[in-house]
Amino acid sequence: MPSAALPVLYTFRRCPYAIRARLALAASQIPVLHHEVSLRDKPAAMLLISPKGTVPVLQLADGTVLEQSLDIMLWALHQHDPLGWLPGCGWDDAARELVATNDGEFKRNLDRYKYPERYPELDQAGHRQQGEVFLRTLEQRLDGQPWLAGAHAGLVDMAILPFVRQFAHVDKGWFASAPYPQVRTWLDGFLESALFAGVMEKR
Ligand SMILES: N[C@@H](CCC(=O)N[C@@H](CS)C(=O)NCC(=O)O)C(=O)O
């Protein structure tokens, strides 16, 4: 347990799970000590409190360890939610299901699309097509409302956006003309936000 009174966040800058955790921590304005880790050489102090070895991990001042990104988001927003991400999203069954699909099927397809050489059962376009099933779901949800949560951004948006960002970045040219205009506008608004810029700052 570090002696500092602040919670310690073990994080990796580009990890979408870590980004969603940092977004909620930033939104909640809770100060934490950021510990950027190398995934190839994880710090012993992190593995001691969270042997599963994934980031993000948040160790609270009382020693409690949160080792799932969604738990970190919910903890942070339950402390302080000035942007109204919890009521905004409702965190209802539909939101949970969307995030579960993101973390399951979509993340699986994202990895295959990003690293097609590791998954030769389909070519890259084939993996992308599988990922597009989720983009279509998002496109429908965003039809008539700017955020998945409705009129305002919510936890459900922030939990999913970092993953869609990665998907879009695999082939920016393709994404720019893909038939998902609402998803594009939603993602662009996020990428241009000060909140996103803040959590991506190099430390
Ligand atoms: N279910 C976890 C997943 C976290 C996760 O898989 N993070 C990746 C980085 S994006 C990781 O730490 N992988 C371990 C490794 O690459 O060694 C969460 O939501 O926090």
Distance 55 CA to ligand 1 centre (A): 5
List pLDDT tens digits, range 176-203: 999 999 999 999 999 999 999 999 999 8
Across the chain, mean pLDDT equals 95
Contacts with 32 (C-beta within 8 Å, 6 or more apart), sequence order: 6, 7, 8, 9, 25, 58
Q: What is the Cα–Cα distance from 165 to 23, expressed in whole angstroms?
A: 14
> Alpha-carbon distance 45 to 149, whole Å?
37
Q: Which amino acid is at 85?
A: W
Residue 185 shares a structural domain with residue 93? yes
In 1-89, beta strands by DSSP E = 8-11, 33-36, 57-59, 65-66
Residue 98 Cβ < 6 Å to ligand 1: no
pLDDT of residue 91: 79
Angle at 84 between CA 138 and CA 20, to 5 degrees: 55
Ligand 1 atom having least distance to the Cα of 54: 12
Q: For residue 199, tell me if it sits in a domain.
A: no
Q: Is the peptide bond before 56 cis (omega within 30 degrees of 0)?
A: yes
Per-residue confidence at 74, pLDDT binned at 50, 70, 90?
very high
> What CATH number did the domain enclosing 64 receive?
3.40.30.10
Task: Based on the fold, state whether residues 70 and 119 are members of the same structural domain.
Answer: no
Residue nearest to atom 8 of ligand 1 (CA): 54
pLDDT score at 1: 47
CA of 151 to the centre of ligand 1 (A): 31
**The length of the chain, given as a count of residues:** 203
CA 145 / ligand 1 centre spacing (Å): 31
- Give yes or no: residues 154 and 140 share one domain: yes
**Beta strands per DSSP E along 57-128:** 57-59, 65-66
Q: How many structural domains are present in the chain?
A: 2
Residue 200 in any domain: the answer is no
101 alpha carbon to ligand 1 midpoint, in Å?
16
The model's confidence at residue 3, banded by pLDDT at 50, 70 and 90, is: very low
Does residue 129 sit within a domain? Answer: yes
Q: Distance from first CA to last CA of the chain, Å, rounded?
A: 22
- What is the pLDDT confidence band of residue 89, given thresholds at 50, 70 and 90? low
15 touches ligand 1 (CB under 6 Å): yes
Identify the domain boundary among 82, 114, 140: 82
Instruction: Give residue 173 CA to ligand 1 midpoint distance, Å.
Output: 28
Backbone angles phi, psi at 65, to 5 degrees: -115, 125
Domain hosting 147: range is 86-194
Q: Which of 20, 23, 55, 158 to mutate to test the pocket of ligand 1 (most atoms within 8 A of CB)?
A: 55
Residue 74 and residue 25 share a domain: yes
Query: Among the atoms of ligand 1, which is closest to the Cα of residue 55?
Result: 12
CATH number at 112 reads 1.20.1050.10
Say yes or no: CB of residue 130 within 6 Å of ligand 1: no
